[in-house]
Amino acid sequence: MSDSKMVVAIGDATNDVLISLGFQPDIQVVDGYEQRIKRSLPKTKFKTQHYADNPAGTISKKALRIILRSIDEDKPVRIIIDGEEDLLALIIFAFYPDDSVIFYGQPGEGLVYSKVKNYQRPAKSILEKMGIKDNPLF
């Protein structure tokens, strides 16, 4: 991870695990739930904090804007989602710098580590089908 431009953690438990291992994610996307059970937000440091509604199965305009603008903000950034954060990884895969990495939880399996550059093309393709184009700040 030391050669990564940005480390992104999606999910409350994912952030907890990384913090317990001594890693501070640059971007934290959380919703206050773990496997659909309400919980306390991770006890992590952040310089900037945002809130966005994002209903299940969608990517809201506000969540999209916040995630994209977070690239240039003082790190660490915490984004609290009211709704569901799962699909928001697509934005990061599609539009974050190539050398960024994403961590997210796979229920019943563990922590998943993915390099953004390996998934940019398929993420952009999925987003285009959802109506989100190359220049999504609208």
Within the chain, what is the greatest distance between any pair of CA atoms?
A: 38
Residue 1 lies in a domain: no
- Give the pLDDT confidence score for residue 33 in this predicted structure: 86
Q: How big is the chain, counted in residues?
A: 138
Write out pLDDT tens, residues 58-106: 999 999 999 999 999 999 999 999 999 989 999 999 999 999 999 999 8
Residue 138 lies in a domain: no
Residue 121 lies in a domain: yes
Handedness of CA 123, 117, 31, 106 (dihedral sign): positive
Beta-ladder partners of 106: 110
C-beta separation of 34 from 13 below 8 A: yes
Residue 37 lies in a domain: yes
Residue 134 lies in a domain: no
In which domain, by residue range, is 78 found? Answer: 7-129
Write out pLDDT tens, residues 12-51: 999 999 999 999 999 999 998 888 888 889 888 899 999 9
Domain count, the chain: 1
Q: CB within 8 A of 70, min separation 6: which ones?
A: 27, 48, 50, 77, 79
